[in-house]
C-alpha cells in the first residue's frame, strides 16, 4: 500500500479513492509544483483533494469557503475524524479565537486546516496573523472551495471572492487549489483569471456520459403528446428485465405536473405529481412511493431531485424546457447513475421558449431596476437560456453541444443522440416546425 493510500485509510477511513480524478488530483496537489483546478459534480468528493494533501504536508492549509454554515459542517466533520481543523469567523467566541491565533503564532502550530470566509481573510484583524504565517513559510496550500463564487457569470457570485486575487498575490509560492462543480467554460475562465491560476493542472469528471441517450421532440407537431410520452416511457422502462426501472418527468408548472401525471396513469403507467402546491404529506408520499419503486414515474417541478440519488432512473423527460443548459445537464444527468442505458428527452415547444424567454428578461429587468444600473453580466441567465434553446433547435450532436458548453472536447457520441443516429430525421422535424410557425 502506498503512503498516500495509507493516509487515506488512517485519516478518513476510506479504502480507495472515489475516482481516478480524485486520486490524480490528490497526487498533483501533493506534488505542489503547479496550481490545481478541480471540476467535479457535487458529491464527487472534492474536499478530499485538498484535505488529504493538507494532512501529509507540513504547515497549514488555508481553506476559503463562502458560507459559515458550510464551514461549520466541514470543520465538525473533520473534528470527528480527529483532524486538526478550525475556523475563524465572525460567530466564533473570542476565547476560542484567541486560542486559535495563539496556536498559529506558535513556533510549530498544531493546526492543519484553517477554514475562513473571504471577508474574514480580507479583514484588517486577520492580516498580522496571515503575514506572519506567510513570512515564516508555514502555508502549505491555499484552497478555494466553491470557486465559481468568484465569477460574475456564475449563479452564485460573491463580491468578496474577488478579493482573493489580492490574497493570491500576497501568497507567493503557495500553490492554489480551486474547486467547483462542473461549470460552464465562461465561468472556468473567470475562475482562472480572478484567482491568478498559473497554467493549472485541471482534474475534471468527464462531462460526456455514453450511457445517456439524448433526443428532442417538437411537442406541437404531435397529434397526441401524452400518447407519445407514454410510448417513450414504456420503452425506456421495459428495456431492462431484471431490475425495476423508473423515470422522472419535469414540468414547469404545478398544473402540468398534475395533468401529465393524471394522463400517464390513465393511459396505463402509474405516475404521481410532486410540486410545492401539494400538502407536505402528499408530496412526501409521492417521493416515497417513487423511491421505493411502488410508482414508476414521478412528475415534478425542478424542486424535486436535489439530493435524490436513485441508481435505476431509466429516463428523464423535460416536458418543458430547462432554464439553462447547465441545469438541463444536471437534471437530465439524474438518469442512468447505475451506468445502464437510459434516455433523456425534451418535449420542445417554441411557445415554452417564448414564455421562459419573457420571464428571464423580466427578472433581469427587475434586478437592474432595483440596482438602478445595468451590467454586462446581467445577461448571463439569458445567454445560458439561449444555449439551452440552441441545443434544441440546432442541427448537431447533442452530446457535443453539452461537452463544449462545459469546455470539454467533442466526445465520440456513437449514436447516443438523435442527430448522430439519424440527422435526416432531425432536419425533417426542424423543417416541419418551421413550416408550422409561419402558418
Task: Summarize as ranges the residues that interact with ligand ADP (CB under 6 A).
Answer: 14, 17-18, 40, 42-48
Extended strands (E) in 78-211: 85-88, 113-116, 139-144, 176-180, 201-204
Q: Site residues for Mg ion, window 95-124 (CB under 5 A)?
A: none
* Residue nearest Mg ion, CB atom distance: 46
**Separation between Cα atoms, residue 343 and residue 335, nearest integer Å:** 7
**Separation between Cα atoms, residue 417 and residue 147, nearest integer Å:** 32
Residue 126 binds which of Mg ion, ligand ADP, none (CB < 5-8 A, kind-dependent):
none
Q: Residue 56 Cβ, how far from ligand ADP at the closest point, in Å?
A: 15
Instruction: Decide whether 44 or 317 has the Cβ nearer to ligand ADP.
Output: 44
Instruction: Decide whether 100 or 177 has the Cβ nearer to ligand ADP.
Output: 177
Please count the other Cβ atoms lying within 10 Å of the Cβ belonging to residue 31. 12
Instruction: Decide whether 183 or 388 has the Cβ nearer to ligand ADP.
Output: 183
Cβ(153)–Cβ(65) below 8 Å: no
**Separation between Cα atoms, residue 319 and residue 300, nearest integer Å:** 10
**Separation between Cα atoms, residue 419 and residue 401, nearest integer Å:** 11
**Separation between Cα atoms, residue 241 and residue 106, nearest integer Å:** 64
Q: Site residues for Mg ion, window 139-178 (CB under 5 A)?
A: none
Instruction: Decide whether 97 or 337 has the Cβ nearer to ligand ADP.
Output: 337
Q: Residue 109 Cβ, how far from ligand ADP at the closest point, in Å?
A: 24
**Separation between Cα atoms, residue 388 and residue 165, nearest integer Å:** 32
Residue 40 binds which of Mg ion, ligand ADP, none (CB < 5-8 A, kind-dependent):
ligand ADP
Residue 200 binds which of ligand ADP, Mg ion, none (CB < 5-8 A, kind-dependent):
none
Beta bridge partners of 325: none
As given in the structure block, the three cell numbers for residue 399 are 452530446
**Separation between Cα atoms, residue 148 and residue 180, nearest integer Å:** 6
Extended strands (E) in 65-116: 85-88, 113-116
Q: Residue 14 Cβ, how far from ligand ADP at the closest point, in Å?
A: 4
**Separation between Cα atoms, residue 210 and residue 198, nearest integer Å:** 32
Q: Residue 47 Cβ, how far from Mg ion at the closest point, in Å?
A: 5
Instruction: Decide whether 48 or 360 has the Cβ nearer to ligand ADP.
Output: 48
Q: Residue 70 Cβ, how far from Mg ion at the closest point, in Å?
A: 8
Q: Residue 17 Cβ, how far from ligand ADP at the closest point, in Å?
A: 5
x-marked contacts with Mg ion along 10-49 as a string, rule CB under 5 A: ------------------------------------x---
Residue 349 binds which of Mg ion, ligand ADP, none (CB < 5-8 A, kind-dependent):
none
Instruction: Decide whether 26 or 295 has the Cβ nearer to ligand ADP.
Output: 26
Beta bridge partners of 61: 113, 141
Instruction: Decide whether 27 or 429 has the Cβ nearer to ligand ADP.
Output: 27
Q: Residue 408 Cβ, how far from ligand ADP at the closest point, in Å?
A: 18
Instruction: Decide whether 45 or 350 has the Cβ nearer to ligand ADP.
Output: 45
Residue 143 binds which of Mg ion, ligand ADP, none (CB < 5-8 A, kind-dependent):
none
Instruction: Decide whether 43 or 277 has the Cβ nearer to ligand ADP.
Output: 43
Q: Residue 13 Cβ, how far from ligand ADP at the closest point, in Å?
A: 9
Residue given cell 498575490 in the structure block: 169
**Separation between Cα atoms, residue 113 and residue 104, nearest integer Å:** 11
How many Å is the maximal CA-CA distance in the chain?
Answer: 80
Q: Are strands 113-116 and 60-64 parallel, antiparallel or unpaired?
A: parallel
Q: Residue 356 Cβ, how far from ligand ADP at the closest point, in Å?
A: 28
**Separation between Cα atoms, residue 265 and residue 74, nearest integer Å:** 44
* Residue nearest ligand ADP, CB atom distance: 45
**Separation between Cα atoms, residue 292 and residue 272, nearest integer Å:** 13
Residue 48 binds which of ligand ADP, Mg ion, none (CB < 5-8 A, kind-dependent):
ligand ADP
**Separation between Cα atoms, residue 62 and residue 144, nearest integer Å:** 8
Residue 284 binds which of ligand ADP, Mg ion, none (CB < 5-8 A, kind-dependent):
none
Write out the residues near Mg ion by the rule CB under 5 A: 46
Amino acid at each position: 500500500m502506498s503512503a498516500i493510500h495509507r493516509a487515506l485509510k488512517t485519516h478518513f477511513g476510506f479504502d480507495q479513492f472515489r475516482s481516478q480524478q480524485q486520486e490524480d488530483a490528490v497526487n498533483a496537489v501533493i506534488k505542489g509544483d503547479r496550481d490545481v483546478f478541480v471540476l467535479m459534480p457535487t458529491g464527487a468528493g472534492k474536499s478530499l483533494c485538498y484535505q488529504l494533501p493538507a494532512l501529509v504536508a507540513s504547515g497549514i492549509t488555508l481553506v476559503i469557503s463562502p458560507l459559515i454554515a458550510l464551514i461549520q459542517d466541514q470543520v465538525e466533520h473533520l473534528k470527528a475524524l480527529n483532524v486538526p481543523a478550525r475556523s475563524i469567523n465572525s460567530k466564533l467566541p473570542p476565547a476560542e479565537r484567541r486560542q486559535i491565533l495563539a496556536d498559529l503564532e506558535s513556533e510549530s502550530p498544531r493546526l492543519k486546516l484553517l477554514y475562513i470566509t473571504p471577508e474574514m481573510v480580507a479583514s484588517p484583524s486577520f492580516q498580522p496573523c496571515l503575514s506572519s504565517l506567510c513570512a515564516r513559510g508555514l502555508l502549505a496550500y491555499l484552497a478555494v472551495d466553491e470557486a465559481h463564487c468568484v465569477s460574475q457569470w456564475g449563479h452564485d457570485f460573491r463580491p468578496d471572492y474577488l478579493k482573493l486575487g489580492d490574497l493570491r498575490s500576497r501568497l507567493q509560492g503557495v500553490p492554489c487549489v480551486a474547486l467547483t462543480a462542473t461549470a460552464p467554460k465562461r465561468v472556468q475562465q473567470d475562475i482562472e483569471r480572478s484567482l491568478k491560476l498559473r497554467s493549472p493542472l485541471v482534474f475534471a469528471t468527464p462531462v460526456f456520459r455514453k450511457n445517456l441517450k439524448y433526443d428532442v421532440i417538437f411537442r406541437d407537431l404531435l397529434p397526441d403528446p401524452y400518447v407519445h410520452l407514454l410510448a417513450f416511457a414504456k420503452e425506456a422502462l421495459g428495456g431492462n428485465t431484471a431490475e425495476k426501472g423508473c423515470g422522472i418527468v419535469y414540468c414547469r408548472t404545478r398544473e402540468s405536473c398534475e395533468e401529465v401525471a393524471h394522463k400517464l396513469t390513465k393511459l396505463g403507467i402509474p405516475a404521481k405529481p410532486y410540486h410545492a402546491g401539494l400538502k407536505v404529506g402528499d408530496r412526501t408520499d409521492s417521493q416515497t412511493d417513487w423511491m421505493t419503486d411502488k410508482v414508476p414515474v414521478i412528475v415534478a417541478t425542478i424542486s424535486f431531485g436535489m439530493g435524490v440519488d436513485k441508481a435505476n432512473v431509466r429516463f428523464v423527460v423535460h416536458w418543458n424546457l430547462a432554464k439553462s443548459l447547465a441545469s438541463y445537464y444536471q437534471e437530465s444527468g439524474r438518469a442512468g447513475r447505475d451506468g445502464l442505458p437510459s434516455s433523456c428527452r425534451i418535449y420542445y415547444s417554441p411557445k415554452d421558449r417564448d414564455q421562459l424567454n419573457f420571464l428571464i428578461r423580466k427578472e433581469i429587468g427587475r434586478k437592474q431596476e432595483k440596482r438602478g444600473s445595468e451590467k454586462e453580466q446581467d445577461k448571463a441567465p439569458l445567454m445560458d437560456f439561449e444555449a439551452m434553446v440552441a441545443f434544441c433547435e440546432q442541427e448537431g450532436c447533442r452530446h457535443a453541444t453539452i461537452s463544449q458548453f462545459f469546455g470539454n472536447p467533442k466526445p465520440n457520441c456513437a449514436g447516443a443522440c438523435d442527430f448522430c443516429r439519424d440527422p435526416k430525421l432531425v432536419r425533417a422535424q426542424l423543417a416541419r416546425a418551421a413550416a408550422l410557425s409561419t402558418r
